A and B are shown apart, each in its own frame.
Chain A
Amino acid sequence: MLLNRKQSGKRWHLRPDGAPKVTGQLQYLTDMTLPDMIHGRVLRSEYPYARILSIDTSEAEALEGVYAVLTSKDVPGLNRFGIATPDQPVFCEDIVRYVGDAIVAVAADSPERAALALDAIRVEYEEFTPLNSTDAALAPGAPELHEHGPGNVLHRTEIKRGDAEQAFATCDHIVTETYYTPRQMHAYMETEGGLFVPDEEGRLNVFAATQHGYKDRMQLARIIGCPEEDIRVVSSPIGGSFGGKDELNVQPYGALLALRCGRPVKMHNSRKESVRAGLKRHPMKIEMQTGMSREGIIQAHRVRITADTGAYATLGAPVLNFCTEHCLGPYAIPNVDVEGVSVYTNNGLSGEFRGFGGNQAIFAMEGQMDRLAAIMNMDPWEFRRRNMREKNDPGPLNQRILVTDGLSQVWEALDRSELWQKHQSSPADPTLPPWIKRGVGAAIAMHGAGLGYGIPDPAGGRLSLNNEGKIEVAFSYEEFGQGLVATLEIMLCDLFQCSTSDLSIIIGDTDRVPHSGSSTASRSTTMAWMALQRLQIPFRSRVLDVASEMSGVPADELVTGPGGIWRKGQLPAETSEVETDVQGTGKSEKEVTLALEGVKQTSAIGNESDQTAESYLGLSQHLVKESVSSGFVVSYAELATQGEADEWIFDTKFDYPTTPDNVVGGHYLYTYAAVAAEVEVNTLTGETKLLDTRHVVAAGPVINPMGYIGQIEGGSVMALGFTLTEDAVMQDSRYVTTNLDTYMIPTIQDIHTNLEVEAIEDLPEGDAFGPRGIGEIGSVALAPAITAAIHQATGVWVNRLPVPREQLVRPLNVPLQEGVSPS
């Protein structure tokens, strides 16, 4: 189905967080203030690699208005953090390994005074030559950045199947290419920060963005040396994350300063500090050698991946695992020899980022496919089809995966598309000047969801009827813009035929939600759906039984509906919370006029009624009992008065589905995507403009069309930046592009306004996993489609991102004038 507002019809659901966002009323965690708060700042390393000889904080401590100056000596618990491998110091004790390393934190009565205090701190260093590349870090005799070696290797991966060496010897054609990908920056608009509030009961309240509140709580408790229950983490709403806020960032400093001072501490990174200290996408070098038979069937594939993981582990190892898994693409290749290495350097910090290593791998693999097809003089799409895995083939790691038709469906849908058909006929436009060249390219991908085999990936959730008579769900997921809350609303309204005003959705608060895992790896939608499938059965049963007892109507003649319980077949006509008409009619406009009243805000922190997630709910409009006819039996509010409160609470716990085979990191659920792109290259300037794209995505039923389109469009434009303009350039391990004026993310002028999204909603009958997450799939396959299009336009095979403009500039080739020097 071509996904747009018109096609979506009644499923076009207005986000409950829309009005507070467009009016500026929504308070992000970095907007929060308290009257007696003070301000925290962090002193970071002057050098990318050095030994700390001494730290003198006496002058800073003596400053008026300075409340605390903390170093590593002031960390009561573990002076380390990191989701998977806690090797990043809260405060460096002796060695600094990147320019974002923290050495001292201060709290003062104003941001200006905190800055003065940082200036007053004297740190003496012994500067070392930084390991500014993976080559430098792997060179014999290179200093080891960490004790846990060997050398500067964080992690190695390997996939070996068949005999690649022998197979290459029999291949008719071999393509050898090395691909390079950039250090992409998340560039979320809200930089890291929040408010840290110790309360009278001795608990610490952390209001700071993360993708996994419980994981932050665990790490903070370890740093502070306190029970986890002594910390409450409130972590939504978030002004963007894309993986970049999954690790702790300002939280250790805010927490320690607040506890030391006994006062609320506000932290908010400047953009420059965010660039310096924050995560980036792993730059990778991917060497590929792919051999095929005379008939164009791939026989052998050799891959060497080198990832620059920077100063600390973060999720460098799982990212490399993911890249390794995905560098085989969705192809059946008998002889495989893949090795990956993730290398510590002094180049910033690489970690989790939307696509999780898939983007780099898919760029390289799809590049090989186009080169091989060109050698065969074959249509590149047909070449892919010949080599694609069969429906029942095992996954890339030879693991069992869930069988779907997704791959062939996206292949066929793109093949049929008007845009891809342009590839067949030369898209040259005679009206264009000769230096403007056009081309069309395409790429295909399968992308794993969830954390993979062998990595704890718990899920769960809570469904209850709360004492206000609302159907309440609680998950430890986060709203960072993806539209999770709207998706949950739609799922619940679908399940119970209720109204949005019957709902209470709680997320992002460790005091109020059960542990149901993280909002990462395109997993939240699937997990929430699976949890609700489990929870609805006991919940519905109790609700209908009690309604039956109260009314005397048999339970099997009752159903849930808007406002409460109804007799079967007598539910009021479908409600109009989903806008019914698109353009122009006075009716639709009236329906979506949203009252601002009732938008609860998160500002009242410390107040019992502070309920971050509930701020999303105030907008539920109209409806409920006005249309109640004789079919209405009993309201949810009346039901909630029956029995004990805890009898209305239902919990579930389970794990994200994984392959039954013992392959670490191997996925079980995959989503599939095919992307076509048309570009225009100016061969005088080397500028590439993306004109048109089509994304075909097979990820199961579309729950929330607005969110789905938004994620694919947003992912696509993020991938456009990855392909054409974005690179956090480093020189001697220091950032050169320190802000958004030199680090170029796409603007509204740079995008492809023709962006079509086609959603394939089929899943096998009886599929137990429901809709798949689409947070990442829109971002993984555009780059190779663009570079293929550039090749068609110019004949240049691009192997480096962002695409170097100089490669696309044609020599003028002007006939030389007799007797005039060519210089």
Chain B
Amino acid sequence: MSKPLESHWTAVVNGEQKHLEIAQTTRLVDVLRTHLQLTGTKVSCEVGRCGACMVLMDGEPVNSCLIMAYQCEGSDIMTIEGLQGDEKGTLHPIQQAFVEEGGFQCGYCTPGMVISTKALLDAHPEPSQEQIETGLCGNLCRCTGYGGIIRAVRKAGERCATKETSAQETVS
């Protein structure tokens, strides 16, 4: 078997510059899970429907199963592991709201759901029900029936609205 073409890939992942020798056709989800051991990003449908692999690429939510390494070369990638509260080792208000409201059960969709919520609240700090539905309709959850998730997003919205600046800091 011939060796796949490898090349140099760089990107900023969760605020850290990463350099890898990988085939440029490697999917971002595999770069994250396999090469960087960031397994918070999950695989589930692998066709961009379920949102379990959602990450932020230059601040925009993307399904990392649909993004190839060459497409995110030099990008700023944020995964669930990059999200935290103001102080290191604490929960981001979104994460905290998910815990408090039971916005998860098995938890497998949760990282993607939290990332999509981050993108939603960055764009709409106080989202309407319609904006919540639009913002999260790319993330499937089979356990919660979405009730706890909606309550968590609303609560997180209230908190983020008052802590907007700190939320921004964690991205950069």
Of A33, A187, A481, which one neighbours B105 at CB under 8 angstroms? A481
Whether B139 lies near A748 (C-beta < 8 A) is yes
Within the assembled complex, what's the spacing in Å between the Cα atoms of A24 and B50? 17
Nearest-Cβ distance from residue A534 to partner chain B, whole angstroms = 29
Within the assembled complex, what's the spacing in Å between the Cα atoms of A23 and B140? 18
Tell me which residues across on chain B come within 8 A of A14, comparing CB atoms.
Answer: 99-100
Contact digits for B36-51, partner A, Cβ 8 Å, 1 yes 0 no: 0111111111111110
Within the assembled complex, what's the spacing in Å between the Cα atoms of A335 and B39? 58
Interface hits, A8-63 → B, CB 8 Å:
14-15, 17-28, 31, 33, 63
Asked if A201 is an interface residue, CB under 8 A from chain B, the answer is no
Asked if B111 is an interface residue, CB under 8 A from chain A, the answer is yes
Of B41, B100, B141, which one neighbours A24 at CB under 8 angstroms? B41
Given the contacts A271-B44, A596-B90, A747-B137, A239 and B107 also touching, CB distance less than 8 Å: yes
Whether B145 lies near A240 (C-beta < 8 A) is no
Asked if B13 is an interface residue, CB under 8 A from chain A, the answer is no
Whether B1 lies near A15 (C-beta < 8 A) is no
Tell me which residues across on chain A come within 8 A of B129, comparing CB atoms.
Answer: 753
Asked if B95 is an interface residue, CB under 8 A from chain A, the answer is yes
Whether B146 lies near A748 (C-beta < 8 A) is yes
A-B contact count (CB 8 A): 198
Given the contacts A14-B99, A239-B106, A748-B139, A24 and B49 also touching, CB distance less than 8 Å: no
Which of A113, A242, A592, A710 neighbours the largest number of chain B CB atoms within 10 Å of its CB? Answer: A710
Number of residues from A at the complex interface, CB < 8 A? 69
Within the assembled complex, what's the spacing in Å between the Cα atoms of A721 and B110? 20
Contact digits for A690-721, partner B, Cβ 8 Å, 1 yes 0 no: 00000000000000001101100111111000
Whether A748 lies near B143 (C-beta < 8 A) is no
What is the interface residue range for chain B against chain A? 35 or more
Given the contacts A22-B114, A709-B147, A740-B50, A189 and B104 also touching, CB distance less than 8 Å: no
- For chain B, what secondary structure do more than half of its interface residues adopt (helix, strand, loop), or is it mixed? loop
Asked if A169 is an interface residue, CB under 8 A from chain B, the answer is no
Of A5, A20, A33, A714, which one neighbours B144 at CB under 8 angstroms? A714
Tell me which residues across on chain B come within 8 A of A238, comparing CB atoms.
Answer: 106
Asked if B164 is an interface residue, CB under 8 A from chain A, the answer is no
Tell me which residues across on chain B come within 8 A of A659, comparing CB atoms.
Answer: none
Query: In this complex, what residue of B is CB-closest to A20?
Result: B107
Whether B81 lies near A23 (C-beta < 8 A) is yes
Whether A714 lies near B99 (C-beta < 8 A) is no
Given the contacts A481-B143, A749-B137, A190 and B148 also touching, CB distance less than 8 Å: no
Given the contacts A65-B1, A753-B150, A710 and B144 also touching, CB distance less than 8 Å: yes
Which of A592, A595, A713, A739 neighbours the largest number of chain B CB atoms within 10 Å of its CB? Answer: A713
Within the assembled complex, what's the spacing in Å between the Cα atoms of A713 and B151? 13
Asked if A597 is an interface residue, CB under 8 A from chain B, the answer is yes
The interface of chain A, by Cβ under 8 A from chain B, is 5, 14-15, 17-28, 31, 33, 63-65, 113, 116, 186-191, 237-240, 242, 268, 270-271, 480-483, 579, 583, 592-597, 706-707, 709-710, 713-718, 739-741, 745-749, 751, 753, 755
Could you write out 28 A-B pairs with CB less than 8 Å apart?
Answer: A22-B95, A22-B99, A24-B110, A33-B37, A64-B1, A189-B52, A189-B106, A190-B44, A190-B106, A237-B107, A238-B106, A239-B106, A240-B105, A271-B45, A481-B108, A592-B96, A593-B90, A595-B90, A709-B102, A714-B145, A717-B145, A717-B146, A739-B45, A740-B50, A745-B142, A748-B132, A749-B133, A753-B150
